[in-house]
A and B are shown apart, each in its own frame.
Chain A
């Protein structure tokens, strides 16, 4: 939605903000109300990056709103600081710094824990403002006398006093806020934030330090909150203590959800609805204090029935109409068939990333004495395992033999109880899955772990970004197309897994076989030198199996691969050597031929009834 014509959204925002003072008075909006809406909208821009884009629902934003607001107001009223804009910026920095410290604590946990911790944080800040720090914040009196901004341009002085004059200043702040937010959302970091919301596990596994990115989003949200808090003081000529209340956080959350999360403009729309309804219900309908109940009911209904809020609802409606039109067009014209093209030229093999130590020539992977115990259950016991550079190794074993556990240990998703793992001569035991992926070792999952809310291309972009940018980088102001080699790598992977035609399809609309190929593609796009594949053929039709085996053969060039699968015919055709696991132990290693004829393997699979069947 945010990827339309360049600068379209920016231009529309500018037009809207310019037109507002001429249009809104006729709709009954007082300038003060409009200014308040803009402050909420600015506050919400950062919050939407945190909640809508990254999926972190914080109920503690009032802490940063208040921090920024009071720092700015204190500077302007008590400390004799004359520059309003400077004070706002310092307040913003203070809020961001606070956000960083708080984020370190709150982001230790995710999901509901995160929500609970942020609630507690907001409450603590409220109490601190009222008691220990009341000498600085004025306690329940707040800080009166916050000045309005003025700028001396040499030949004239611009002074933004109140009403529509102050609107110009606040609207400019909001506009800059929108541009920065849009840039962040369109940057590589923005793409990764969406991936974190969608599937944090896979975002970690393809090599992103998601904790760092979450903290980034948290700090960004705090910075926006801090600046907006300062503006609130400027707007009211008074810094009210209730900026710190839990209600402020709650109102922000509700406005964002009403307007539409993940849209950046949702909070602005939500604030408009909120303030308009508050006015309308209180004065026009004479509901008095009941207005909040009505808003509460509206909010609950919206959450129940219109998940995307007002903007999401409008977008859905638009898509419904546009979709209907497209369908009628499709009925008359012919859409190209979506089957694989037989004439397709096979893409060139994709190269693995450069080796860090080219001199190293020993086995690419060596595990010794690898053991994993879950309480009394021994999943893997004392496994010795070694794979040479460029080898294609298969792993088979009956269900419950510990194959997937073994893979999880190799990629450092879970830590072994004992034993060592050495990758290219480097001990990786105890490293994190992100680091191991960055070193060039990753796997595709037995059960698909895709970014289901994104398109095929976006999925592969997330994986390729991890390889091209490393596990953490703060390129907030770069576009995706500015990442060197990204387009090529994504296109190449698309071609390899034969999903070019489906590149812009949302994952949710893919067929199962396509999802399996994308699963492999995600691992492949990180350019691993050692690729582990956990049952790549599971659940595929015979035809899809043939395709996938062909795919695996093509990606095996210049790469080491270890494959778990139950389809022995396909597997034996692919690999050079096979390891058989049984009850968590290595039964034997051997060539496919040796394994096929080995009595112990037959025994393991058929559980000793083999003789009876033969008889």
Chain B
């Protein structure tokens, strides 16, 4: 049952899934770190990214345009969501923030279900990455390899924005102490809006990039959201490097366990999360006192 090519291909699958989870989780974690709001609609953002890309692809037949339109649409949706609703919840208890984002997530999913029905939709991979690649020792779907590259580039871009720009510096300062940033004369609410947009965009981008790997359904974001939570708990809330590390760990756990028995993938994932909670309650790269 366990053959080397099989194991290696599962490890690659894990890398692709892990990279995606890393990207989605970093979106979730920078939003939480900066705004203090856990966005339970983040899975829906992932799903909407896929559908927005799907619609664009239907009209233009260009995968590149689909990726751009999908990400931008979700970013705008995120900005609108922050302006109209989330903004009024900064000074309300955590439970209310959880409830309202949870409700919004359901609204988004049901809206998409209404428009596109529950049937699954397909987005083919771009022509450039179709087919399979001979890696010398095994054959592997080209697009999945490409996903790793594409997501790595996106994570790199996010890293540059967070660590090499003025905005990124403000965001990181905001994660440490948003009240202080506010009192330094920076309009922290505008930063919040931008961060929410970027965080949502990360999920939306992942959604359309992932669309050719799986088929799109309105419920696709729910599972991803759960996995994202595990990633964030493992990596540490508010930590960008933690999200990447946690994403890769979770991706590999899911893939490798699935090789033996897919039914146990979540059990193993949960076991890993429990282990982290017992050994390092603040996550592998998390900082104490941030919750």
Contacts and interface: CB of A to CB of B under 8 A. Distances in A.
Interface of A: 51, 55, 57, 59, 105, 108-113, 115-117, 119-121, 123-124, 127-128, 130-132, 246, 250, 253-254, 257, 289-290, 292-293, 296-297, 299-300, 303-304, 307
B98 interface: yes
Interface stretch (B100-108, B148-156, B189-197): B100-108
Contacts, number: 121
A304 B107 contact: no
Contacts of B99: 57, 253, 257, 299, 303
A296 B44 CA distance: 14
Contact of A120 (B95, B226, B261): B226
B237 interface: yes
A257 B223 CA distance: 24
B263 A121 contact: no
Contact of A303 (B96, B114, B222, B232): B96
Contact of A300 (B32, B100, B262): B100
B281 interface: yes
A119 B100 CA distance: 16
B277 interface: yes
A112 B265 CA distance: 24
A113 B291 contact: yes
A127 B226 contact: no
15 contacts: A55-B93, A57-B94, A105-B278, A108-B281, A111-B94, A112-B38, A116-B232, A119-B229, A120-B229, A120-B273, A124-B266, A289-B114, A290-B110, A300-B107, A303-B99
A123 B266 contact: yes
Contact of A304 (B94, B98, B100, B273): B100
B138 interface: no
A120 B263 contact: no
A120 B102 contact: no
Most chain-B Cβ atoms within 10 A of its Cβ — which of A59, A254, A293? A293
Given A115-B38, A124-B266, A293 B103 contact: no
Contacts of B7: none
Contacts of A128: 263, 266-267
Contacts of B229: 116-117, 119-120
A441 to B, nearest CB: 24
Contacts of B281: 108-109
Contacts of B264: 127, 131-132
A131 B260 CA distance: 13
A148 to B, nearest CB: 33
Contacts of A111: 94, 291
Nearest to B28: A116
Given A119-B226, A304-B85, A124 B107 contact: no
A281 to B, nearest CB: 12
Contacts of A117: 229, 233, 273, 277
Contacts of B104: 296, 300
B233 A120 contact: yes
A527 B6 CA distance: 68
A109 B277 contact: yes
B270 A57 contact: no
A150 to B, nearest CB: 38
A380 B24 CA distance: 43
B230 interface: yes
Contacts of B102: 59, 250, 253-254
A153 B248 CA distance: 62
A228 B112 CA distance: 33
A514 B188 CA distance: 34
B115 to A, nearest CB: 10
B32 A112 contact: yes
Interface in B169-198: none
A254 B94 contact: no
A145 B226 CA distance: 33
Contacts of A110: 291
Given A111-B94, A127-B263, A303-B96, A296 B222 contact: no
B91 interface: no
A108 B273 CA distance: 12
B164 interface: no
Given A123-B266, A300-B103, A300-B107, A109 B291 contact: yes
A112 B103 contact: no
Nearest to B36: A112
A116 B110 contact: no
Nearest to A117: B233
| Shortest beta-carbon contacts, A-B, top 7 | A131-B263, A293-B110, A116-B229, A300-B103, A296-B106, A296-B107, A112-B38
